[in-house]
């Protein structure tokens, strides 16, 4: 498996969100779409890309014999339950 960068810290995520979503700004679907597009984020694949990265992180932890943090498991469960059916 190729080395992947570690996930961002909470402080890094907070800083990014502060940049992307200034305080007191009302966000609608169109505004969020524009912001994501400006940063090169594909809305159509965002959830799948996040799910894939979190699954890799969980697999890496398991591979090292470490337990997967409950919040990571909850995030994966949430993303999997929101996945559209392919029926």
Per-residue confidence at 80, pLDDT binned at 50, 70, 90? confident
Distances (CA, A) of 22 to 5, 14, 25, 27, 47: 27, 11, 6, 10, 22
Instruction: For residues 24-45, give the mean pLDDT.
Output: 80
CA–CA gap between residue 85 and residue 87 (Å, rounded): 6
Whether residue 79 is predicted with pLDDT greater than 80 in this model: the reply is yes
**Mean model confidence pLDDT for the chain:** 83
Give me the residue spans of the domains in the chain.
9-43, 45-87
Q: pTM above 0.85? A: no
pLDDT of 2 reads 61
87 against 41, higher pLDDT = 41
């Amino acid at each position: 498996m190729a080395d992947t960068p570690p996930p961002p810290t909470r402080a890094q995520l907070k800083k990014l969100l502060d940049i992307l979503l200034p305080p007191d700004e009302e966000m609608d679907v169109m505004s969020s779409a524009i912001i994501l597009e400006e940063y090169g984020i594909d809305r159509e694949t965002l959830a799948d890309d996040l799910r894939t990265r979190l699954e890799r992180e969980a697999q890496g932890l398991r591979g090292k014999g470490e337990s997967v943090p409950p919040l990571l498991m909850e995030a994966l469960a949430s993303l999997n339950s929101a996945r559209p059916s392919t029926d």
